Structure 1
């Protein structure tokens, strides 16, 4: 029993000594000779990445949302009520202008063509016979003229019959990419029945509302860039093609149309696009976005300053401008060539000692 109590007391003393050792270590342990690193001990210098401020090119931008459309788009439909006898395309197929897409039942038109051909053949025989008689001097020349007129009328009737038969074949009005279809041979279609869609997407148009206050700053030829949620990290470039002549009385904006090449067909009609319109360029002081800390309506950076024992991080209020390509425009508060902490601002206190792990100027 005594031995058991002794062991419990010894274990308690051991635990107490270990706790004291941990406390002493936390209070007096340094951070490896004062060189500091991420999460270094109290009294040690924090190792930070540094950035030397320099000027970069910035531009004023408008961020707008638009809708992509094909350069030409149409719904392929029938103008007659008739059965489809043949479907000559596949879903998503690329076709050239004039390519046949579907054939409609054409019994009446085919019968008309047979009748018209027979009339042409008879008129041709009458003309040949009249010509022979006229050449031999047996018949008057007026008979040949009448036979020639009858032949021309029969040929015109045949051309009209062939045209009516041609209307039973629906063709692509321009080159493009076909959409999905639900029709098959035997489907009854009527006027306005959509058979498929056809889009020319070699060039994409993006229509977006342009507030009237920007009309004097945006014109045909102004460069734009566009992004889509469907392709994160991808940017498409183009130019303003034209701006509508009318202002919407409710939204106080005009419709602007941008055009951009789409050689791979990635952008599809109807896709929502975020459009960035750039308006002029200027040189301004810049720092990385990671070097800026926002607080309320203001912003600050940590400028690295010399001190008696090395370097310290000095908190500096700055006025910021636009954000572009990962950099923030600095309107006031810093000068070119000054060094700021580039990242990890949440681990730094004003006036804290720091050491530089690396330096960059963004070039």
Structure 2
């Protein structure tokens, strides 16, 4: 009799909060992780061997294309250029003199050709020497912001040695990747929104300017490049960025709070709350579902629920299949597709 009593005893009704499965229209967007990159970014290097004789910039300075950055000692090269200028003057006088003699029939055409060849050689040597002098002057290849100076006055530098980094910050690129299943959807011109941890709460808008024509065979992702305006220069090369591609489409979805889900090795389930035969109280019925995309506090249900179904959203550990439940929605869990917690 005691066993029969315990088998038939009814548990007290569990108090839970509830949520209704509702239809929403989610705007399609594709999220990816990317890296900010300068449109033009280089390490300005030297082309010649020598001693730094002058530095004309400061670290972090903004420079225009062609601005003088530094000079390498070039007095011997400039002196050699003066020697060649003197040779040029002599070669021109000889050429004019021999041409005049040829007009009077005093000399031969061969002498004139020799004088012309000598003149051309001196002109070519001058161009080569001027190029050598120019190599000892370091200028900005484009407009941008300089980094930390890597050279000192009087330092002996070698060809290819870094002088300073130069980055063009406005506009700026962001490179990110997406799965190959999105290749047909993504195209140039689509708007993107970028957020970065360096400036929380700020978002930056741009558009896709290039899509890589190949898919990486290892990751099955493809590379995308977007261009953004950066007038305040908040975005800097190398920054981590979260990128969202805005697709001009909406999708109809059935959603419930994520807190309503029960995860188990054999599947995902929810407790559906339905009135009993008398309509006096709610009965919890466990039902397996299939989920889709998640956004914020909400999750998409692709199979197992219908619009208007009431599910338990908290207190799930107290519920048993077929047992009664009491709904108290005074403290419901959040239900927001774009939550913005105060401490995030």
Query: Which interval holds the TM-score relative to the shorter structure?
Result: 0.5 to 0.7
Distance 2:61 2:280 in 1: 70
2:82 counterpart of 1:114:
yes
1:329 corresponds to which of 297, 300, 311: 300
Distance 2:19 2:221 in 1: 45
**Could you tell me which residue of structure 2 aligns to residue 203 of structure 1?**
172
**Could you tell me which residue of structure 1 aligns to residue 180 of structure 2?**
215
Tell me the number of residue pairs that the alignment of Structure 1 and Structure 2 aligns.
Answer: 301
> TM-score with structure 1 length normalisation?
0.63
- Work out whether residues 292 and 301 of structure 1, in 8 Å CA contact, stay in contact via their aligned partners in 2: no
- Work out whether residues 37 and 238 of structure 2, in 8 Å CA contact, stay in contact via their aligned partners in 1: yes
**Could you tell me which residue of structure 1 aligns to residue 158 of structure 2?**
190
What is the root-mean-square deviation of aligned Cα atoms in Å?
A: 4.7
Instruction: Render the CA deviation track for 1:160-182: whole Å, top value 9, x for unaligned.
Output: 11111111112334444332213
Secondary structure at the counterpart of residue 323 of structure 1: strand
**Could you tell me which residue of structure 1 aligns to residue 42 of structure 2?**
74
How far does residue 115 in structure 1 lie from its aligned partner after superposition?
Answer: 0.8
2:238 counterpart of 1:270:
yes
**Could you tell me which residue of structure 1 aligns to residue 224 of structure 2?**
258
Secondary structure at the counterpart of residue 253 of structure 1: coil
How far does residue 238 in structure 1 lie from its aligned partner after superposition?
Answer: 4.3
Of the two, which has the highest radius of gyration? 1
Distance 2:175 2:46 in 1: 29
Q: How does 1:86-235 map to 2 (within 5 A)?
A: 86-134=54-102, 137=104, 139-140=106-107, 142=109, 143-201=111-169, 202-206=171-175, 208=177, 214-218=179-183, 221=187, 226-235=194-203
2:25 corresponds to which of 32, 35, 56: 56
- Work out whether residues 292 and 300 of structure 1, in 8 Å CA contact, stay in contact via their aligned partners in 2: no
**Could you tell me which residue of structure 2 aligns to residue 241 of structure 1?**
211
Instruction: Render the CA deviation track for 1:128-187: whole Å, top value 9, x for unaligned.
Output: 33445555x274363544433332222221111111111111233444433221323322
Q: How does 1:14-29 map to 2 (within 5 A)?
A: none
Secondary structure at the counterpart of residue 126 of structure 1: helix
Instruction: Render the CA deviation track for 1:260-291: whole Å, top value 9, x for unaligned.
Output: 2232143322223345578986321235x5x7
Instruction: Render the CA deviation track for 1:233-279: whole Å, top value 9, x for unaligned.
Output: 344554462154653xxxx3256322122321433222233455789
How far does residue 341 in structure 1 lie from its aligned partner after superposition?
Answer: 9.6
2:253 corresponds to which of 259, 269, 284: 284
Instruction: Render the CA deviation track for 1:299-347: whole Å, top value 9, x for unaligned.
Output: 6588798xx99998989866542123664323345544x49799x957x
Comparing 274-283 with 168-177, greater Cα deviation is found at 274-283
Instruction: Render the CA deviation track for 1:175-223: whole Å, top value 9, x for unaligned.
Output: 4433221323322222342211233443314255x6xxx4354266286
> TM-score with structure 2 length normalisation?
0.66
Distance 1:181 1:206 in 2: 28
Distance 1:156 1:313 in 2: 98
* Structure 2, unaligned runs of 5 or more: 1-15, 320-324, 338-344
**Greater helix content:** 1
Q: 1:315 to 1:71 in 2, by over 3 A?
A: farther
Distance 1:104 1:144 in 2: 41
Distance 2:220 2:38 in 1: 20
* Structure 1, unaligned runs of 5 or more: 1-45
Q: 1:84 to 1:190 in 2, by over 3 A?
A: same
Secondary structure at the counterpart of residue 186 of structure 1: coil
Secondary structure at the counterpart of residue 182 of structure 1: coil
Secondary structure at the counterpart of residue 160 of structure 1: helix
